[in-house]
Amino acid sequence: MHHLVTEQPNAISTDIDTLSTLEIVQLMNAEDRKVALAVEQENLAIAKAVDVIASRIAAGGRLLYLGAGTSGRLGVLDASECPPTFNTPPEMVIGIIAGGVTALTSAIEGAEDDSESAVVDLKARALSSRDVLVGIASSGRTPYAIGGLRYAQSLGAYAIGLTCNSDSELNTCSDLVIAPVVGPEVISGSTRLKAGTATKMVLNILTTATMVRLGKTFGNWMVDLRATNVKLKARSVRIVAAIAGLTEQKASEQLSLCDGEVKTSIVASKRAVEADVARELLKRAEGKLRKALELPI
């Protein structure tokens, strides 16, 4: 592994243990600024990935993340945020981590080295040719991720490798590779740092841009959110009020008439129709609010 960029010593942090606390913070902040630039270099690959993911989900497929350690945790985190943010069913975006749920909070020794367990985990989720699998491995060589990607390709699922090393082993088992090369870590080999940040940024873009393509937003409003707590309920009211041009009191009343459904409330208000008619318009518009507001009644 000595040839991997993520394993190289960082010349900038060679004497980090002799620095003041402020100097350590400044050094790390300076290194983190490089992450966004590395992700920017992969914009074309990320955009291609989004188009594939959106088209497969629209056709009934799913997005699955697979990884070990920090990579797996970040995948599970991104997947778990989709239902409350975009009101997606939990099976639409799935995060899988080597070692199972326990590995989310504890290191499971050797889990990342078991390529066969990735196949078992994917079979348990019934991975099929309609799906997209993103295998996440900062090093680009993790057997668990590679085993999963090879299995995905054998089924005809679209296999995307996400790594922070160029020309890695992921290239041999992926239909598309996203590789933001962030350089050596401040603490050599600690890929929870810049590599982890780059991974989180890419995953944020993959799901957010996919949901925009699927009509889960209106402008930059999250009109498909699931209001499961006080904060989100208040946000729902603000969204309906802003888009429908209502007072917050009227928006709250409209939401009550529409079972708390933000899109339905907006269509019902702006088109002056009952909730059932609004839902039918949204159905005809394939869930896209902008289109539903333009369709003839």
Position 273 in a domain: yes
Q: Which CATH number fits the domain that encloses residue 267? A: 1.10.8.1080
Which letter does DSSP use for residue 57 in this model? H
Same domain, 58 and 121: yes
The pLDDT value recorded for residue 6 is 76
The pLDDT value recorded for residue 225 is 87
The pLDDT value recorded for residue 107 is 84
Same domain, 124 and 81: yes
Which tens digit of pLDDT belongs to each residue from 109-145?
788 888 999 999 999 999 999 999 999 999 999 999 9
Position 23 in a domain: yes
Same domain, 135 and 282: no
Same domain, 236 and 194: no
Instruction: Report the relative pairing of strands 63-67 and 93-97 from DSSP bridges.
Output: parallel
Mean pLDDT for the chain?
Answer: 95
- Which has the minimum average pLDDT: 5-9, 35-39, 171-175, 250-254? 5-9
Taking the model in full, what pTM does it have? 0.91
Q: Which of 184, 213, 242 lies at the terminal end of a domain, its last residue?
A: 213
Q: Is 68 helix (H, G, I), strand (E, B) or coil?
A: coil
The pLDDT value recorded for residue 7 is 76
Expressed in angstroms, the distance from the first to the final Cα of the chain is 62
Position 154 in a domain: yes
The yes-or-no verdict on residue 3 having pLDDT over 70 is no
Same domain, 199 and 159: yes
Q: Could you tell me the residue range of the domain that residue 125 belongs to?
A: 5-213
The yes-or-no verdict on residue 2 having pLDDT over 60 is no
Domains contained in the chain, number: 2
Q: Which CATH number fits the domain that encloses residue 193? A: 3.40.50.10490
Same domain, 189 and 126: yes
Position 268 in a domain: yes
176, containing H or E segment: strand 176-178
Which residues, other chains included, contact 151 with Cβ-Cβ below 8 Å and sequence gap of 6+?
118, 119, 122, 127
Same domain, 164 and 240: no
Supply the residues annotated as catalytic: 81, 112
Please, which pLDDT band fits residue 36 given cuts at 50, 70 and 90? very high
Same domain, 49 and 82: yes
Same domain, 168 and 274: no
79, containing H or E segment: helix 69-86
Are 289 and 275 within 8 A, CB to CB? no
The yes-or-no verdict on residue 1 having pLDDT over 80 is no
* Average pLDDT estimate for 252-281: 97
Same domain, 120 and 258: no
255, containing H or E segment: helix 248-257
